[in-house]
Chains A and B, each alone.
Chain A
Amino acid sequence: MSKNDIKVALIGNPNTGKTSLFNQLTGLNQKVGNYPGITVDKKEGISKLSATQNAVITDLPGTYSINPTSLDESIVLKTLLKKDIKESPDVILVVADVENLKRNLLLFSQIKDLEVPTVLAINMVDQMNRKGITIDLSLLKKELNTEVVLISARKNEGIDAVKAAIIRCHVAAKASPLCGINNQIDPDYFTKLKEISPNYSLYELWLMVTQSNYPDAISSEEKQKLLAFKKDVSKLKKYQHKETIYRYQEINKILKKTYIVDKTKAKDLRGKLDRVFTHQFFGYFFFVFLLLVIFQSIFEWASLPMDLIDGTFAELASFAKSNLPSGVFTDLLTEGIIPGIGGVLIFIPQIAILFLFIAVLEETGYMSRVVFLMDKIMRRFGMNGKSVIPLISGTACAIPAVMATRTISSWKERLITILVVPFTTCSARLPVYAILISLVIPETKIFGFLNIQGLVLLALYALGFATAIIAAYILHKTLKIKTKSFFVVEMPNYKIPSIKNIFFEVVEKTKSFVFEAGKIILAFSIVLWFLASNGPTSFDDAEKNTIENLSNNSLSEQELQQKIASAKLENSYIGILGKTIEPSIKPLGYDWKIGIALITSFAAREVFVGTLATIYSVQADDENTTTIKQKMRSEINPDTGKNRFNFSVGMSLMVFYAFAMQCMATLAIVKRETKTWKWPLIQLFGMGLLAYVASFITYQILS
C-alpha cells in the first residue's frame, strides 16, 4: 500500500451484494487482518482504479444503520468515527439494493452526515425490469448530492463506473450532510451540541453522545461536555427515534421524484419458496434432510484428501529422517514440526467442505429461514435462532463456530452459544473416535445393513448435540445476566449463489482456521516433542540401565531398542507427568501412557492418536511397522494380563473425549471473544469435571 492510494470503506446493508462488489473490485488481491485492539476480521483488498491510481478497499460488516446492536455492526461505527488516525477512509462507498432502496438509503443518509466524500452504488439493477422499477438517475444524483452509479456486481457491470466515481469523488473532496439532524428536532439542543467542537461534524458529535464511542483525539474537556448530554437518557432515545423518522421522511421525498415501482410487473418467487421452506412439516423435514446430506458429504468427500495429506506427511517425515543427518534438529523436524503441521492440515478437507455448505446456504438466503424455523426451539434453551449456524459449524471446528456467534446481539444468548459449542463433535474428535471404535466395537451388521461401528459414531454425535443443548438449558437457568433480548432477522430474497463469492469465502475462512489453530497446535507439538525427548538425570541413564538389565536375556536388536525407547519415554518429563497423574485416572481405566495422551491432547484432541503412536511405536527405522491400531490392540495391561484397550476402557475414553475441553485454540478464541479468562476457565473445568465423572461411571459400569 502506497501513500497515494485512496482509502475506501465499503459499507452496505446485509444481502445487498456488498461482497460481490468487493470481489469484483479487488479480485485476488485480498487479505484478512485484524482491526487494532479488537479482533474482528478486517477484509482488505487493493483495487486498480486507473492506470495511475490504486485504492485500498476495506470491506466492513453488513449493517442496517450506524447505530450498532451487535459486535459485527459496532466495527462500522468504530472505523468511521476514528477520524484522527491514519486508517480513516478518504471515500465511503455505500452499496444499496435496488429493490429496497428506501431502507438502504437510511444508512446512506447517516453516512452522508459524517461529511466524508461518499459514492452510492445501486446494485442488482439487472433485476429492475423484472421487478418493474425505474430510476431517474440524474435527478437522484442531484437530490442526494453525491455520485450515484448503477451496477450489477454479479454480472460485472458498472464496476468501471464505480472506480471512476471513486476517483472523481476523491478529487472533488466534496462532502456535505444530506439531512442535517439539528433543525427539525430540537434546534437549541443541537446548536449547543455543535458548539462543543469545531473538529467534528454535528452528526459525529451526536453519535459520540448516543453510542458512547469517542475518537482517540478528542480532548477530555470536550468529552466532559459530551457526557453532560448523555444524562437525559429518555430524551436521547426520543431524539434518536425522531431522527430516524425524519430521515425516512426526507428519503421518501427524494424517492417520490426519482424512483417508481410498477408492482403489477413484479413476479413473486419468494412467496412460493417460503411456503415450502418455512412449512410446519416440510420446513423441518428439508432442514434435517439437508443436515444429513452435509454430514454425509463431509465424511464421504473428505476421507480421500485426508488420507492423502496423512500419507504425504508420514512419508515426508520418514524421508527427512533418512536423508538428513541425525541430530536434535532432525528429531525436532521429523517428530515435532512435520507431524504438527500435518495435524493441522489434515482438517482442511472437512472444514472446507463444511464452509462450502454454509456459504451456499447463506448466499441463497436459506439460512435466514433456518433461523426463523429454529428460534422458538433454541430460545427455550437460552439461545437464539442464529445459534444454529455456530452449532452446525462446530461439527467442523469450534473456532470458526465461536466467531460465528458475533451476529447474535443478545449477550446472554451469545455467551451461552459460545460456552456450549465445544460439546458438538468437532472433526478433531473423529480420529480418536475412529481408532477407538475400530478397536473395541465389533465390525458386525445388524439387520444385515446397519453397521454397528457407524451407529456408535452416530450416537457419539447425538451425545455431543444433546449435551450442548442440556448444558445450554442449565446455563440459561443459572446465568444471571440481564440483557435485552431483541431479535430481528431479515428474510432476504432467494438467490442463486455466486461461485466466485463462495470460492473466496471458503478460501478465506479455511485460511484463517489454518493460521489461528495452526499456530497453537504447532507450538504445542514442539513443546511436547521437547518434553518427550528430554528429562531429568534418570532419562540419560535409561538407555544404559536398560542395556545392563537386559544383557543376559537373548533379545533381538529390535526388541532391545524398543525397550530402551520405552524406558526413555517413561523417564522423560512427559513420562513423569503421566506417572504423576496415573493414580487419578486409574479409576477411569487408564494407565500413564494414556495419561500422556490425555495431557498432549490439550494441544488438540487428534494429538491423542499421534501420541499413542509415538509411545507404542518407537522403532522408527523398522520398515514393517504395524499400524497404530495393531499396536494398540497388542498393548497388554500388566495388572490383568489382558488387552489394555478393552471395551470398557475404549468406551470410557470416548466418553471422556466427547465431554472434555481439550483444545487450547478454542480456549484462546473464547478468551478473545468474551474478553475475560473467566469463561474459558469455566469451560475447561466444567467440561473437564463432566468428562471425568462420566467416564468414571462408564468404566465402572462396563468393567
Chain B
Amino acid sequence: MLKIYDSRFFAGIFLYQKRVSTIATLQKGEIGYISEESLDFIPLKLLEMGCLPGAEVQLVQIAPLKDPLYICVNGSHLAIRIETASKIQILKS
C-alpha cells in the first residue's frame, strides 16, 4: 500500500510535475503551444493580449533575478510573473 511517507509517493509527485510543461518550464528561446486545458487558468487580461489556447509561445528572455519572464505570444511581447506563467500549460512540438 502506498503511504504518504513512502518515497515512491514523492517520486510519483516528482514525475507528475516533470511531465507537465508550463510557460515557466520553457528554456530561453524555446517554443511551446498553449494547451486547451489551460483556458480557465489564463487571466482574462492575458487572453485579451493574445495569450490564447493553441497559440505559439516563445520564452524570449528571463529577468536577471529569474522572474518575471519575457514571452512572445501571438505577436505580442509581454512580461509576466512566474506565478502566472506556471499556471499556463503548454505542449511542446
Enumerate chain A interface residues (CB-CB to B < 8 A).
Answer: 64-65, 67, 69, 99-100, 102-103, 106, 237-238, 240-241, 244-245, 248, 270-271, 274-275, 278-281, 283-284, 368, 371-373, 375-377, 385, 486-492
Q: Which of B45, B47, B53 has the most CB of A within 10 A?
A: B45
B35 within 8 A of A: no
Is A278 a contact of B64 with CB atoms below 8 Å? yes
B27 within 8 A of A: no
* Bound-state Cα–Cα, A245 to B52, Å: 7
In Å, the complex CA distance between A281 and B42 comes to: 32
Q: Report the nearest B residue to A492, measured CB to CB.
A: B77
User: Closest CB-CB distance, A362 to chain B, in whole Å?
Assistant: 16
The complex places the Cα of A368 from the Cα of B48 at a distance, in Å, of 19
**B64, A373: Cβ atoms closer than 8 Å:** yes
Residues of chain A lying within 8 A (CB to CB) of residue B40: 238, 241
A240 to B42, CA, bound (A): 12
- Mark interface residues in B43-73 (1 if CB within 8 Å of A CB, else 0): 1111111101100000011011111101000
Q: Is the CB of A376 within 8 A of B60?
A: no
* Chain A residue nearest in CB terms to B42: A241
Q: Identify the closest chain A residue to B54 (Cβ).
A: A245
Are A241 and B39 in contact (CB-based, < 8 A)? yes
Chain A residues with Cβ below 8 Å from B60 are 271, 274
Judge whether A283 and B64 touch: CB under 8 Å. yes
A271 CA / B60 CA spacing, docked (Å): 9
Contact surface of B with A, Cβ cutoff 8 Å: 39-40, 42-50, 52-53, 60-61, 63-68, 70, 74-81, 84
* A377 with B65: CB separation less than 8 A: yes
Residue of A nearest to B47 (CB): A244
**Residues from chain A with Cβ under 8 Å of B75 in the complex:** 99-100, 102-103
A335 vs B45: C-alpha distance when bound (angstroms) = 55
Contact B63 A278 (CB under 8 A): yes
Closest A residue to B81 by beta carbon equals A487
- Our pick among B44, B77, B80 for the contact of A240 (Cβ within 8 Å) is B44
- Residue from A244, A275, A489 in contact with B79 in the complex, judged by beta carbons closer than 8 Å: A489
Given A64-B45, A372-B63, 13 more contacts at CB 8 Å? A69-B45, A102-B50, A106-B48, A237-B44, A241-B44, A244-B52, A284-B64, A371-B79, A372-B79, A375-B63, A376-B66, A377-B65, A487-B81
B21 CB, nearest partner CB in chain A, Å: 21
Chain B residues, CB < 8 A from A67: 44-45, 48
Distance between Cα atoms of A6 and B35 in the complex (Å)? 46
Is the Cβ of A103 less than 8 Å from the Cβ of B67? no
The distance from the CB of A159 to the nearest CB of chain B, in whole angstroms, is 26
Q: Report whether over half of chain A's contact residues are helix, strand or loop; otherwise say mixed.
A: helix
CA distance A605 to B72 in the complex (A): 47
With a cutoff of 8 Å between Cβ atoms, the chain B residues found around residue A241 in the complex are: 39-40, 42, 44, 47
**B40, B44, B66: which has the most chain A beta carbons within 10 Å?**
B44
Docked Cα-Cα span, A655 to B78, in Å, equals 42
Q: Min CB distance, B67 to chain A, in Å?
A: 5
The minimal Cβ–Cβ distance linking B2 to chain A, given in whole angstroms, is 34
Residues from chain A with Cβ under 8 Å of B42 in the complex: 241
Complex Cα distance, B44 from A395, in Å, reads 36
User: How far in angstroms is the closest Cβ of chain B from A270?
Assistant: 8
* Residues A488 and B45 in contact, CB atoms below 8 Å apart: yes
Q: CA A377 – CA B39 in complex, angstroms?
A: 30
Q: Which of B49, B70, B80 contacts A103 (CB 8 A)?
A: B49
Tell me the complex Cα distance, A274–B61, Å. Answer: 8
Cα distance A371–B78 in the bound complex, in angstroms? 12
**Contact assessment for B76 and A490 in the assembled complex, using a CB-CB cutoff below 8 Å:** yes
Q: Are A375 and B52 in contact (CB under 8 A)?
A: no
Closest 6 CB pairs of A and B: A280-B64, A376-B65, A491-B77, A65-B48, A489-B79, A244-B47
Looking at B47, B53, B78, B79, which has the most chain A CB atoms within 10 Å of its CB?
B79
Chain B hits for A489, CB < 8 A: 68, 78-79
Which of A99, A237, A274, A487 counts the most B-chain CB atoms under 10 A from its CB?
A487
**Cβ A278 vs Cβ B76 within 8 A:** no
A662 vs chain B, min Cβ distance (A) = 36
B44 x A488 contact (CB < 8 A): no
A371 (CB) vs chain B CBs: closest residue: B79
Partner of B49, one of A237, A278, A488: A488
CA distance in complex: A274, B43 (Å) = 26
Query: In the complex, which residue of chain B has the Cβ closest to the Cβ of A234?
Result: B40
For A284, the chain B residues whose CB sits under 8 A away are 64
Query: Is A486 a contact partner of B67 (Cβ separation < 8 A)?
Result: no
- The verdict on A278 contacting B70 (CB below 8 Å), with A241-B40, A377-B65 known, is yes
Q: Could you show 22 A-B contacts with beta carbons less than 8 Å apart? A: A65-B48, A100-B76, A102-B50, A102-B75, A103-B49, A103-B75, A103-B76, A240-B44, A241-B42, A241-B44, A241-B47, A245-B53, A275-B61, A278-B63, A278-B70, A280-B64, A368-B79, A371-B79, A373-B63, A490-B49, A491-B79, A492-B77
